[in-house]
Amino acid sequence: MGKYLFSPFERKIGKVSREVWVKMLQIAREMDLNKGGIYDARLMAINIWSAPEDKPSDYTFEITKGCLNYPRNFLASIYGEFTEDGGVELYMELYNPARRGHAKRLFEEGKISYEEYKRMLELSEKGTEAEWDWALAKAKWLIETAERESVFKEIVYCPYCGQEFTELKLFNEFILHLATHVNIKSVTLGEDGIYIETEKHTLTPEDYIKTKKGE
């Protein structure tokens, strides 16, 4: 069966930056299955669950609520594996417990042979093409959304000389820097951010924040 990391049936589905991986975990948490989504994020894994309204085209098993907030059946996991170059390789594994339970019932009721039972158990770990298509589409959406969201960063910059302050904790430094250009009368928190009143005019967040493409 060769070398594998998580499952003999795993597929390597891509590679992303660590920043994108962190964003993927964050999106998966925001779209958690107990909030009506179909994901749940673990330390280095994202699980994907099928829902009655969102499932593989060949999925005929009953999807129940169990102890969850919404009816969901487990189906796939994305695993992240850190690489030495600072990236994260993504692997996907399928596991269909509903197919496994269905096979067990059929076998116990004498409706299928032992060979058929073993074949169905293997299929529950191997996944069908429709299951893969569906799970891969969910992973693709996560990756693309995370990439889009991590591309643009908000950067604080000096409207007088253009110097950039890339970390928010440097905001105090930014104010001190502004003071080398103008006299600052007050710094106040408004509805949409911090307003900086100078002797000449008031700087609003629009005046000193820009979105910029990250590396």
Which residues of this chain interact with Zn ion, rule CB under 5 A?
158, 160-161, 163
Helices 97-108 and 114-126, axial angle in degrees (round to 10): 170
Of 70 and 160, the one with the shorter C-beta distance to Zn ion is: 160
d(CA 106, CA 41): 33
Residue 53 DSSP code:
T
141's CB contacts (< 8 A; 6+ apart) are none
Minimum Å gap between C-beta 168 and Zn ion is: 18
d(CA 149, CA 27): 10
Minimum Å gap between C-beta 92 and Zn ion is: 48
d(CA 90, CA 147): 14
Minimum Å gap between C-beta 158 and Zn ion is: 3
State the Cα angle at 37 between 35 and 42, rounded to 5°. Answer: 85
Minimum Å gap between C-beta 162 and Zn ion is: 7
Minimum Å gap between C-beta 202 and Zn ion is: 17
Of 74 and 160, the one with the shorter C-beta distance to Zn ion is: 160
Q: Are 176 and 183 a contacting pair, CB within 8 Å? A: no
Of 44 and 179, the one with the shorter C-beta distance to Zn ion is: 179
Of 144 and 164, the one with the shorter C-beta distance to Zn ion is: 164
Of 75 and 203, the one with the shorter C-beta distance to Zn ion is: 203
